Structure 1
Amino acid sequence: MTKANLNIILNDIRFWIILFGILRLYGITNPPLEVAHNWRQTTVCMAARNFYEADLNIFYPRIDIAGEKSGITGMEFPIFNYLIYVFSLVFGYDHWYGRLINLLISSIGILFFYKLLLKYFEKNVAFNASIILLASFWFAYSRKIMPDTFASSLIIISLYYGTNYLEGKKSILNLLLYFVFGLFGVLSKLPVVYIWILYSIWIFGGGNYIRKLIFIGVSSVIAGITYYWYYIWVPYLVDEFGFWHFFMGKNFNQGFNESIKYLPEILNHFYETAIRYVGFSMLLFGLIISIIKKDKIIWITFLISLLSFSLIIFKSGKTFAFHSYYVLPFIPIMALVASYGISKIKNSTLVKVLLFAICIEGILNQWNDFVIKPNEREIIRLESSLDSISNKDDLIVINSGEYPTPMYFAHRKGWVCDNSKLLDKKYISDLKNNGCKYIVILKKSFGSDTRLNYNILIDNEYYKVYDLK
């Protein structure tokens, strides 16, 4: 291979997307037991598995920690979960399909991120922004069984086609693709809708007013469907089936006050978590340079995006502060501004060093997410242990606090609680009256040992099972 051919490959963003994709295939079949947000992943898996085993109706997702109830509850529109179900129809159920689906869609999303930026910026800005996004917090979360980068990628794809339509390119096809990807993106994760604020640049600019009215009309349909799902259907499922699970945010006043109180934790997600210190330094540099050079497209894009995303922060409050993945939808904007800053550095060697530093800092700080600790893996044996003494439809209670993860690996339905409740005679009596037959005590991961006055059926280093019948 000649040096010229090598340069062509290295300057092709598809090479880097594939390379980062291959890196993230390491441990792709791992169970969702990494420390960061295993609970979030297992609730996704519960809904997917229940589509496969119980009811394929996408409008009635269900999870396994609702006790004696059906488990049907409101949540994000479960298109991501349903794709796992579709894979399962072909290959049989396995959780890791979710990792693969997310990785694939997120990789395509970054390709469209590059194509989108290429329309408005020089190639080096689009290229470097895509590299920064690949190595950002997206690196680990784009292979988790969670809809966050999945939805963000769909909304980026829709942004590409939406701007194509507003610019007059193949109008009907672009409008249709904007609608499809935009609808499923917003339905999959409501906070990604903040990015719609960028359309104001085109809406309030010059151009074809009929085209703008049509675009607003189509966007209104997306908004209407989304409103129906989140604010009519989700509350209906909760009321009808008696189980609340999905966080819908707080009232604005409470969320705002909590955001002020926990501002240091919130800011930490931006400067430490999102693109790490080197990347964030370049972001600040890019903002300063854009203001000095009066490059409005950069600082206005960042400012209106931040103002729009701030509404998500204020609606989430304390929850945003203590859930790092809430920052994921905003990272593409941060990557753009950081890349712009790097583009103003004329020394090509320094540019390469900075990009390398951003990648190394990002990857190394997330690599522990690719390895499951041995103690955590032991929970996988829980299902086979319970199979030896019980039936699949026997209800159980697990001392995992609010964590649903052990219930998913038990492949049972029932309740999760802390040890103190298991010492409450009334609580135990209510469990028995509602059909609970076994108590699972986790000794290390997700729980701690406690002694109960019931017959012990299984007892090992990691958990024990009491007979409650």
Structure 2
Amino acid sequence: MIGITNPPLEIAHNWRESIGTMVARNFLEVDANFLFPRLDFNGSKDGVVGMEFPIYNYLIFLWSKVFGYSHLAGRLINLIISSIGIFCFYQIIKIYYKEKTAFYSGIILLSSVWFYYSRKIIPETFAASLVIIGLYFGLNYLYKKEKTIDFVLFMLLAILGVLSKVSAICLLGICAIPFLDRKVPLIRKIAISICGFLLIFFVGWWYYYWNPYLTETYAFPHFFMGVPISQAISDLFNNFALFSKRFYDTALKYIGFFSFLFGLFWSIYKKEKLVIFVFISTSFFLLPIILKTGYNFAFHDYYIIPFVPIMAFVAGFGLSSIPWQKFAIVILFAIGLEGIINQQHQFFIKPDLAKLALLEGSLDQFGSRKDLIAVNSGNYPTALYMAHRKGWITFNNHLKSKEYLLRLKSEGCQFFVILKKSFGTDVDLPLEKVYSDEYYTIYNNTFLK
């Protein structure tokens, strides 16, 4: 629970956390209609934007309606759902294998990249967990002949998970297993198939109709919709070292990855069809994601997250197959230790970044939250979010142009914030300076003579 109340100012991906928290805060302060999520960095415009289905952001909003807005909400919601996801992951493996395999797999997943991202304010582990929890209910429906509520929960959670993050669809490759099992009644296979068609419909509607509609209507082309396959292949080929690193380093770290390779080798050697089939079927679903995202998959470490449970399962199977279980436990301990040590620095905020938490108070001395501002943070919206204002994120070379400054002023910009250490460097503007310290300077929109 260290840093569970921290603002989104960690080293890694604070920009994505800021985007998610912007959306949640705007549901609270502007409009609670989840069909029209809003960001703060579209200047004087509404900021309505196409994005991932904002169920996670909406849960933060609902929490805030009851308990007040805080960064605890986003972190705690993600942590709770991701923890339930690991528990259901453990329970799913127990359907097919001994408790030892499930336990090893769960510990490996817990100490993987999942460990840190399950408490960040972004939807990757949240979405993957919704799908895993849904799979738990779905498999209960198929194998244990549980009530219809299990099917309904599977359908709802799987759809919401994939809507929240399309890459989580790779986990649904597991559904191919019961379809090949003659013990599963045909009527239940048909029910799961209907769920699949509904998922395709809702995901298609949101990402290929509603998102483009919002982008065109509100003129805010922010959301990444992928690249052509030819470009993706070229990007991945040119950045193959970085792409492969997502598997051997980001996912499970080195010891975990070698355990995964051993588990994969052992399953092939022993002809363990279930492990092989799970790996192949989920990889088949992951491939289109890789070919759609291209360089982004290689560059951003969070794209691999939905596939990490599969790698953890294969690694757990491998460790549980080792005859000398004391040796397997030593390896398991080493996997956990390596994973956590390599992520512990992400729980703390650098002093320079921490100072951005004071930006809102500094601006409050000279105006209100309705004032539009411009910040020299480049493509990063973090400082604008911390300022609790709307406006522009821009670059120093733009701000050096008087014509650019005049244009922003004509569009309603009241203050210009120059960051000196985090996200930006110092630059003098021909405007009236109202505040300055070691970390940032605030100008109003009055030009000096």
Q: Which of the five TM-score ranges fits, normalised by the shorter chain?
A: over 0.9
Structure 1 partner of 2:365: 388
Structure 2 partner of 1:184: 160
The one-character-per-residue Cα deviations of 1:294-348 (angstroms, maximum 9, x if unpaired) are: 1111122112222321221111111111101111100000000111111121222
Q: Which range moved further: 236-245 or 43-52?
A: 236-245
Structure 1 partner of 2:171: 195
* Letter in structure 1 aligned against 2:51: M
Structure 2 partner of 1:13: none
Structure 2 partner of 1:252: 229
Structure 2 partner of 1:451: 428
Structure 2 partner of 1:331: 308
The answer as to whether partners of 2:169 and 2:285 remain within 8 angstroms in 1 is no
* Letter in structure 2 aligned against 1:158: G
Q: Helix, strand or coil: the match of 1:119?
A: helix
1:107 is aligned to 2:83: yes
Structure 1 partner of 2:29: 53
Structure 2 partner of 1:281: 258
Which whole-Å CA distance do the structure 2 matches of 1:467 and 1:27 have between them? 34
1:420 is aligned to 2:397: yes
Which whole-Å CA distance do the structure 2 matches of 1:214 and 1:377 have between them? 51
Pairwise CA RMSD: 1.2
Q: Helix, strand or coil: the match of 2:374?
A: strand
Q: Helix, strand or coil: the match of 1:440?
A: strand
Shift in Å, 1:169: 1.4
Shift in Å, 1:204: 3.7
Which whole-Å CA distance do the structure 2 matches of 1:97 and 1:236 have between them? 30
The one-character-per-residue Cα deviations of 1:162-187 (angstroms, maximum 9, x if unpaired) are: 22223351241211111111111111
* Letter in structure 1 aligned against 2:2: Y
Which whole-Å CA distance do the structure 2 matches of 1:297 and 1:204 have between them? 11
Which whole-Å CA distance do the structure 2 matches of 1:314 and 1:159 have between them? 25
1:230 is aligned to 2:207: yes
For residues 150-161 of structure 1, the aligned pairs below 5 Å read 150-161=126-137
Structure 1 partner of 2:99: 123
Give 1:410's match in structure 2, choosing from 383, 387, 391.
387
For residues 261-300 of structure 1, the aligned pairs below 5 Å read 261-300=238-277
The answer as to whether partners of 2:173 and 2:284 remain within 8 angstroms in 1 is no
Q: Which range moved further: 216-225 or 366-375?
A: 216-225
1:162 is aligned to 2:172: no
* Letter in structure 1 aligned against 2:365: S
Shift in Å, 1:211: 2.1
Which whole-Å CA distance do the structure 2 matches of 1:356 and 1:218 have between them? 40
Q: Helix, strand or coil: the match of 1:246?
A: coil
The one-character-per-residue Cα deviations of 1:182-214 (angstroms, maximum 9, x if unpaired) are: 111111111111222222222244242222222
Q: Helix, strand or coil: the match of 1:256?
A: helix
Which whole-Å CA distance do the structure 2 matches of 1:196 and 1:102 have between them? 20
Q: Helix, strand or coil: the match of 1:466?
A: strand
Structure 2 partner of 1:366: 343
Which whole-Å CA distance do the structure 2 matches of 1:127 and 1:335 have between them? 11
Q: Helix, strand or coil: the match of 1:223?
A: helix
Identical counterparts, % of pairs:
46
Matched residue pairs, number? 445
Which whole-Å CA distance do the structure 2 matches of 1:380 and 1:34 have between them? 12
Which whole-Å CA distance do the structure 2 matches of 1:292 and 1:347 have between them? 18
Which whole-Å CA distance do the structure 2 matches of 1:112 and 1:343 have between them? 19
Which whole-Å CA distance do the structure 2 matches of 1:168 and 1:105 have between them? 24
* Letter in structure 2 aligned against 1:234: N
Structure 2 partner of 1:14: none
For residues 338-349 of structure 1, the aligned pairs below 5 Å read 338-349=315-326
* Letter in structure 2 aligned against 1:52: L
Shift in Å, 1:379: 0.4
The answer as to whether partners of 2:124 and 2:306 remain within 8 angstroms in 1 is yes
The answer as to whether partners of 1:256 and 1:315 remain within 8 angstroms in 2 is no
Q: Helix, strand or coil: the match of 1:96?
A: helix
User: Following superposition, which runs of at least 4 residues in structure 1 exceed 6 angstroms of deviation?
Assistant: none
The one-character-per-residue Cα deviations of 1:106-148 (angstroms, maximum 9, x if unpaired) are: 0000000000010011111111000000000011000000110
* Letter in structure 2 aligned against 1:75: M
Q: Helix, strand or coil: the match of 2:78?
A: helix
1:221 is aligned to 2:221: no
Shift in Å, 1:388: 0.4
* Letter in structure 1 aligned against 2:328: V
The answer as to whether partners of 1:44 and 1:81 remain within 8 angstroms in 2 is yes
Structure 2 partner of 1:145: 121
* Letter in structure 2 aligned against 1:174: D
Q: Helix, strand or coil: the match of 1:396?
A: strand
Shift in Å, 1:48: 0.5
The answer as to whether partners of 1:252 and 1:314 remain within 8 angstroms in 2 is yes
Q: Which range moved further: 169-178 or 36-45?
A: 169-178
The answer as to whether partners of 1:399 and 1:418 remain within 8 angstroms in 2 is yes
Q: Helix, strand or coil: the match of 2:414?
A: strand
The one-character-per-residue Cα deviations of 1:382-409 (angstroms, maximum 9, x if unpaired) are: 0010010112111110000000000000
Q: Which ranges in structure 2 are unaligned for 5 or more consecutive residues?
A: none
Shift in Å, 1:96: 2.2
1:68 is aligned to 2:51: no
* Letter in structure 2 aligned against 1:256: I
Give 2:331's match in structure 1, choosing from 349, 354, 360.
354
